[in-house]
């Protein structure tokens, strides 16, 4: 009978450990009330998750165990009686909070909390400038008329030259006239828009406080503790002297021996940026034109140069003859808008940690 009683006690203990371990893993996997790094964003901003500390698994030399440890026969030595953990809460856990990197979880504990507080995020640095507008100049048109009817009837021939290229023009035969006059139709100017050049520098945010919580891996048991208490490992070096409990979200402490609240965060909703950089309508863009006629007629543009400016009407012209059109664009400028910092960086993913007084 005694042998059967021992076997039965071992089976009950194994079932109890399996049930507790399953509940702990389910809480972490399903996101229930586990104290783990969050990932969601709010208000369309950029959400930055926090694995704590960055690049560290939090395990140190004491990697999370795969099974809950055995409670001691009596709660003494490296163990102490602490208030029981209320339903929906996680713990008991050793907790560190400070400016320096946290220590690794000690024996009997495994990483379950990685969070921060005291968010430090400077506003974005903003600026705006505008490049010059590009002016495109279309060359003037040369209109040829019989010198006897210039200004009375429509031109008998027209020519549009490639800017800065010498070209021979012979419209005498087309106009059936011995002498021809020339008028200039002014070329057009196309003033392009300015290209904005924004300056947007969003400084990397940081946290002034780092927190780590390591939950006990020892199966909860009353052992020789008073009613309402359980036996748990005592916190290791570098951690607060008293064990605490945690709950996802910003919630009130449950009391029951855990009455001092600490609120930490797992993520940042970062919407910091700059207002738009724009450019005004360009001003100052223009084109200057001139046409030079020559008595040469072999596309050499030599001999007896005569300059014709926009507005020329019915001026006598050598035909046939060489011509060169000169076009000189002047780029415009724009006024840049003011670009100012907008948005904020807000801590999100709150986690409540409650500790004894």
- Shared domain for 32 and 61, answered yes or no, is yes
- Shared domain for 54 and 76, answered yes or no, is yes
Question: Which residue range(s) make up the domain with 247?
Answer: 2-125+200-275+341-355
54 lies in some domain: yes
- Shared domain for 33 and 156, answered yes or no, is no
- Shared domain for 215 and 68, answered yes or no, is yes
- Shared domain for 177 and 220, answered yes or no, is no
- Shared domain for 347 and 316, answered yes or no, is no
297 lies in some domain: yes
- Shared domain for 91 and 220, answered yes or no, is yes
> Token pair of 238, please?
């570098």
Total structural domains in the chain? Answer: 2
CA angle 101, 103, 105 (to 5 degrees): 140
- Shared domain for 325 and 345, answered yes or no, is no
Question: By the 8 A CB rule, do 143 and 183 touch?
Answer: yes
- Shared domain for 213 and 117, answered yes or no, is yes
What CATH number did the domain enclosing 152 receive? Answer: 2.60.20
- Shared domain for 206 and 245, answered yes or no, is yes
- Shared domain for 92 and 175, answered yes or no, is no
- Shared domain for 80 and 205, answered yes or no, is yes
pLDDT tens, the chain, 357 aa long = 333 333 333 333 333 333 333 333 223 222 333 333 333 333 344 454 443 433 333 333 333 333 356 778 999 999 999 999 999 999 999 999 999 999 999 999 998 889 999 999 999 999 999 999 999 999 999 999 999 999 999 999 999 999 999 999 999 888 988 899 999 998 888 999 999 999 999 999 999 999 999 999 998 899 999 999 999 999 999 999 999 999 999 999 998 899 999 999 999 999 999 999 999 999 999 999 999 999 999 999 999 999 999 889 999 999 999 999 999 999 999 999 999 999 999 999 999 999 998
135 lies in some domain: no
177 lies in some domain: yes
pTM metric for this prediction: 0.65
């Amino acid at each position: 009978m005694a042998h059967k009683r021992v076997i039965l006690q071992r089976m009950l203990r194994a079932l109890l450990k399996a049930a507790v371990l399953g509940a702990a893993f389910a809480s972490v996997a399903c996101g229930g009330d586990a104290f783990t790094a969050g990932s969601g964003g709010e208000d369309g901003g950029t959400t930055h998750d926090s694995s704590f500390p960055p690049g560290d698994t939090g395990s140190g030399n004491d990697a999370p165990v795969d099974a809950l440890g055995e409670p001691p026969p009596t709660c003494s030595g490296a163990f102490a009686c602490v208030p029981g953990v209320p339903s929906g809460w996680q713990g008991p856990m050793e907790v560190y909070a400070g400016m320096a990197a946290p220590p690794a979880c000690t024996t009997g504990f495994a990483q379950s909390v990685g969070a921060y507080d005291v968010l430090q995020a400077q506003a974005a640095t903003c600026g705006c400038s505008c490049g010059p507008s590009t002016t495109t100049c279309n060359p003037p048109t040369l209109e040829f008329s019989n010198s006897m009817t210039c200004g009375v009837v429509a031109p008998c021939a027209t020519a549009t030259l490639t800017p800065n290229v010498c070209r021979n023009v012979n419209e005498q035969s087309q106009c059936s006239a011995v002498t021809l006059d020339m008028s200039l139709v002014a070329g057009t100017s196309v003033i392009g828009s300015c290209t904005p050049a924004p300056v947007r520098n969003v400084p990397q945010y940081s946290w002034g406080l780092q927190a780590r919580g390591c939950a006990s891996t020892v199966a909860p048991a009353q052992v020789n503790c008073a009613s309402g208490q359980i036996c748990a490992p005592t916190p290791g070096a570098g951690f607060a002297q008293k064990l605490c409990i945690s709950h996802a979200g910003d919630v009130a402490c449950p009391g029951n021996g855990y009455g001092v609240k600490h609120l930490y965060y797992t993520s940042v909703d970062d919407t910091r940026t700059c207002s738009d950089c724009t450019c005004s309508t360009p001003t100052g863009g223009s084109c200057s034109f001139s046409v030079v006629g020559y008595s040469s007629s072999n596309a050499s543009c030599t001999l007896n140069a005569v300059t014709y400016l926009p507005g020329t009407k019915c001026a006598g012209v050598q035909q046939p003859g060489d011509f060169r059109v000169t076009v000189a664009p002047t780029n415009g400028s724009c006024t840049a808008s003011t670009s100012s910092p907008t948005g904020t960086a807000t801590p999100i993913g709150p986690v409540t940690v409650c500790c004894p007084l």
